[in-house]
Amino acid sequence: MSFELLFQYFLSGITVGSIYAIVAVGFNIIYNTTGIINFAQGEFLILGAMVGITLSPFLPLPLAIILAVILTVIIGALIEIIFIKWLKEPSVLRVIIITIGVSILIREAMLHIWDEKVRALRYFTGTEVSSVTIFGAHISPQVLWVLGISAVIVICLNFFFKFTLIGRAMRACSANKTAARLCGINSKRMVTFSFMLSAGIGALAGCAVSPLTQTQYDMGASLAIKGFTAAILGGLGNSMAAVAAGLIIGLLEAFSISILPLAYKDAVAIALLLIILFFRPSGLFGSREKSALKEY
Amino acid sequence: MLKILNLEAGYGKLRILKSVSLHVNPGEIVTIIGPNGAGKTTLLNTISGIIKTRSGKIVFNKQNIQQTAAETIVSMGCSLVPEGRQVFNTLTVKENLMLGAYLQFKNGNKKKIKLELKEVLKLFPVLEEREHQLAGTLSGGEQQMLAIGRALMASPRLLMMDEPSMGLAPLIVKEIFETIVRLKDSGMTVLLIEQNARLSLGIADRGYVLETGQIVIEGTVRELLNNHDVQRAYLGKDYKGIDE
Ligand SMILES: Nc1ncnc2c1ncn2[C@@H]1O[C@H](COP(=O)(O)OP(=O)(O)O)[C@@H](O)[C@H]1O
Ligand SMILES: [Mg+2]
């Protein structure tokens, strides 16, 4: 195999990997506040992209994306308020099942609004044929956009959770909700806030990847599975590690094509997920010490 | 400071607290003793708003708080150090303490927080050494100190503690109780729940005995220590009253 070909595989691996990474980060935000996994995370991506696509013919692209993010944030808040907030002391499992129900609901609603057609947002810069050449391999500038946006999101989130009051309060809620309330933290509001935040990040990610992957109403679930695998591989709750894990999964998938038939590509992530859950549930980068302190 | 009248509370159909009445005056240490399962934790959780009041009145600083949310009760100056410590395991010691002052942070009162933090670290110097360690990796005694420190960061006027001696070595318990006395000396009002009656009656001004959800005996520490029922049930049969 030539170096150029290897490098091309590498780049395509990094591209899909960064998409998985950004989905995984969305999972982590809600997990960090509530201890629950929001299985509607993939739908937030698709919803954001769909709204962006619908608005983009009428507005400058950045404005369309911003509006898509805002609208998805509002929907994220509404979902939490309508389906979760009023429950008294719901168990983690119950909320997870609710999010699965919500994901189906959003998917069906999107089918009604946007039908089955495959759409795509236009490229942020250039067109589908423009490419940047790095070490002889060709790469779409959109890939750089996706990587850049992922990086900015992760750095901002890390700062947010470590150094801001609300970020710390959100982590406190996931560590011990009763104790958080005893510190004066309104834990219910923090949950709403985490849904808004991850919906917004999902929508932004959905818009960023839409030119590359295209967008269809039912693509959320498979994105969610890959993102979930990355989140678990990175050790739930750790955003930096989730990004690394997302890239690893993307690379594994890309290189698997050169050994395995294409049809097995999706099986790689699932197999990986099962292996992690069996042998290292604290994740590749999660410390055992830290995960022993968490309640599952 | 705190006045409770005919308080009833429980879990679902379970009625745990039956017409509990008590009061705490400013500057006092009041202790509530009683056997396991008497409803002591339920009582404190009801006062702090974690459990809903069924009926009765809770008055804190002349305000009715029986229907007030837990978050608001903290902001009024009534803090609870919960049973079993309940620190934020996955956060550092410093972050735990800072979150204790969450409401002051929200109000932008940074200077006061710094002073408060200094006070707390003076009270528990070991917390300063462990500032950047995850709270879950601390020893039981250190976690208890952290839990007390976190509650103090909210600058409460009434500090409620739920069995601070639970599961700790005698030497550490002694240290914690000495701290409670120092807090009282600096003007804090304390409502202290303990199973270890000898310890808590040793530092309190007044006390109540709670059995199966009812206050059965109340009085000054001297009265309780001389009460034969209290001696038999909580102090051991070899205990001699201080007036005898
Ligand atoms: N979450 C709960 N649900 C139902 N019953 C409870 C709960 N917590 C405590 N109880 C019951 O309430 C009673 C009082 O418990 P508690 O207030 O913890 O007593 P104490 O702190 O004095 O040991 C016990 O009989 C206990 O079984
Ligand atoms: Mg108790």
**DSSP-assigned letters across all residues of A143-195:** HHHHHHHHHHHHHHHHHHHHHSHHHHHHHHHHH-HHHHHHTT--HHHHHHHHH
Q: What is the reported pLDDT for A295?
A: 47
User: Helix crossing, A141-163 with A239-259: angle to 10°?
Assistant: 150
pLDDT at A290: 53
Q: Which residue did the predictor score with more confidence, B152 or A277?
A: B152
pLDDT band at A296 (very low <50, low <70, confident <90, very high): very low
Q: What percent of chain A has pLDDT over 70?
A: 94
Q: For residue range A49-67, what is the model confidence (pLDDT) as tens digits? A: 999 999 999 999 999 999 9
Nearest chain B Cα distance for residue A29, angstroms:
15
Residue A169 with chain B: CB contacts under 8 Å? 99, 102
DSSP helix/strand/coil, B217: strand
Residue nearest atom 6 in ligand 1 by C-alpha distance: B11
- Bridge partners of A134, per DSSP, are A137
Mean pLDDT of chain B: 93
Under the banding of pLDDT at 50, 70 and 90, the label for residue B154 is very high
How far B38 CA lies from chain A's nearest CA (Å)? 21
**Does the C-beta of B40 come closer than 6 Å to ligand 1?**
yes
Q: Which residue type occupies A93?
A: L
Question: Distance of CA A29 to CAs A1, A172, A195, Å?
Answer: 40, 13, 8
The residues near A5 (Cβ < 8 Å, ≥ 6 apart) are none
Mention every residue, 6+ apart, whose C-beta is less than 8 A from residue B14.
none
Q: What is the pLDDT of residue A286?
A: 59
Residues paired with residue A284 on neighbouring β-strands, in sequence order: none
Nearest to B48 by CA among B163, B159, B184: B159
Weakest-pLDDT range from B118-122, B170-174, B237-241:
B237-241
How much is the average pLDDT of A83-95?
85
State if residue B9 touches ligand 1 by the CB under 6 angstroms criterion.
Answer: no
Query: Which ligand is located closest to the Cα atom of residue B210?
Result: 1
Express each pLDDT in A203-234 by its tens digit: 999 999 899 888 999 999 888 888 988 988 88
B156 lines ligand 1 (CB under 6 A): no
Strands B29-33 and B189-194: parallel
Phi, psi of A37 (to 5 degrees): -100, 125
Looking at the predicted structure, is the pLDDT value of residue A105 above 80? Answer: yes
The reply to whether residue A184 touches residue B82, judged by beta carbons under 8 angstroms, is no
Render A233-278 in DSSP notation, one character per residue: HT-TT-HHHHHHHHHHHHHHHHHHHHHS-GGGHHHHHHHHHHHHHH
Q: Return the C-alpha torsion angle A77, A83, A86, A90, nearest 10.
A: -110
Distance CA(B63)–CA(A166), nearest Å, equals 29
Does the C-beta of B38 come closer than 6 Å to ligand 1? yes
Dihedral (CA of A145, A150, A156, A159) sign: negative
Residue B30: beta bridge partners?
A: B191, B206
Higher pLDDT, A71 or A275: A71
Please report which confidence band the pLDDT of residue A1 belongs to, taking 50, 70 and 90 as the band edges.
Answer: low
Q: Which residues place a Cβ less than 5 A from the ion ligand 2?
A: B 40-41, 83
Alpha carbons B64 and B78: distance in angstroms, whole number: 13
Chain A CB contacts of B79 under 8 Å are: 182
Residue A135: pLDDT over 50: yes
Instruction: Give one word for B155, left, alpha or beta, with left for phi > 0 and alpha for psi -120 to 50.
Output: left
Tokens linked to B26: 């400013």
Instruction: Tell me how far the alpha carbon of residue A280 lies from the centroid of ligand 1, in angstroms.
Output: 37
At residue A136's C-alpha, the angle toward residues A135 and A140, to 5°, is 90
> For A184, which of B86, B90, B103 is closest by C-beta distance?
B103
**End-to-end Cα, chain B, rounded Å:** 34
B68 lines ligand 1 (CB under 6 A): no
pLDDT average, residue stretch A265-293: 70
Comparing CB atoms, the residue among A175, A176, A186 nearest residue B71 is A186
Q: Is the CB of B171 under 6 A from ligand 1?
A: no
Q: Is the Cβ atom of B36 under 6 angstroms away from ligand 1? A: yes
Domain positions in chain B are 2-235
- Ligand 1 neighbourhood includes B85 CB (under 6 angstroms): no
Q: Which member of A165, A171, A183 has the closest CB to residue B150?
A: A183
Residue A97, φ and ψ in degrees, nearest 5: -65, -35
Residue B27 to residues B158, B181, B214: CA-CA distances in angstroms? 9, 11, 25
The structure tokens 């490229």 sit at A123
Fold of B2-235: Rossmann fold (3.40.50)
State the Cα–Cα distance between residues B137 and B88, nearest whole angstrom. Answer: 11
Ligand nearest to the CA of A89: 1
Q: Is the pLDDT of residue A265 over 80?
A: no
Kindly tell me if the per-residue pLDDT of B163 is higher than 80.
yes
A chain contacts of residue B106, beta-carbon cutoff 8 Å: 165
- Which helix (H) or strand (E) covers residue B148, if one does? helix B140-152
CA distances from B167 to A127, A181, A234 (A): 67, 24, 35
Q: State the Cα–Cα distance between residues A71 and A47, nearest whole angstrom.
A: 9
* Residue pLDDT, tens place only, B77-98: 999 999 999 999 989 999 999 9
Task: State yes or no: pLDDT of B242 exceeds 70.
Answer: no
pLDDT top residue among A40 and B109: A40
Residues of A in contact with B50 (CB under 8 A): 178, 181-182
Q: Tell me the whole-structure pTM to 2 decimals.
A: 0.85
Averaged pLDDT for residues A148-158: 88
For A185, how many CA atoms within 13 A lie in the half-sphere containing its CB?
A: 30
Q: Tell me which DSSP letter residue A123 carries.
A: P
Q: At what angle do helices B110-123 and B170-185 cross, to 10 degrees?
A: 140
**Dist. CA B116 → ligand 2 center (Å):** 29
Per DSSP, the three-state class of B23 is strand
Are B70 and A182 within 8 A, CB to CB? Answer: yes
| Residue A283 pLDDT grade (very low, low, confident, very high; cuts 50, 70, 90) | low
With beta carbons under 8 A apart, name residues in chain B contacting A183.
74, 99-100, 102-103, 150, 154
Task: Please tell me the distance from the alpha carbon of residue A42 to that of residue A107, in angstroms, as a whole number.
Answer: 10
| Separation of alpha carbons A278 and A266, rounded Å | 19
Choosing among A163, A182, A288, which should be mutated to test the B contact, i.e. which has the most B CBs within 10 A?
A: A182
Give burial (CB, 10 Å; 0-12/13-18/19+) of B21.
Answer: middle
More confident residue, B2 or A2: B2
* Confidence at A93, pLDDT banded by 50, 70, 90: confident
User: Mind listing the domains of chain A with CATH numbers?
Assistant: 3-120+135-295 (1.10.3470)
Sheet strands (E) in B12-148: 14-24, 29-33, 55-60, 63-64, 78-81
Of B86, B100, B136, the CB nearest to A178: B86
The predicted structure's pLDDT at residue B144: 96
Q: Is A17 helix (H, G, I), strand (E, B) or coil?
A: helix
Q: Which residues of A touch B137 (CB under 8 A)?
A: 289, 293
Query: B42: Cβ below 6 Å to ligand 1?
Result: yes
Could you say which of A165, A179, A292 has the minimum Cβ distance to residue B86? A179
- Mean pLDDT rounded to a whole number for chain A: 86
Q: How many residues does chain B have?
A: 244
- Residues near B241 by Cβ (< 8 Å), separated by ≥ 6? B225, B226, B231
Q: What is the pLDDT of residues A253-263, one digit of tens each?
A: 888 887 877 77
Distance CA A240, CA A247 (A): 11
Q: How many CB pairs under 8 A join A and B?
A: 75
**B136 CA to middle of ligand 1, Å?**
25
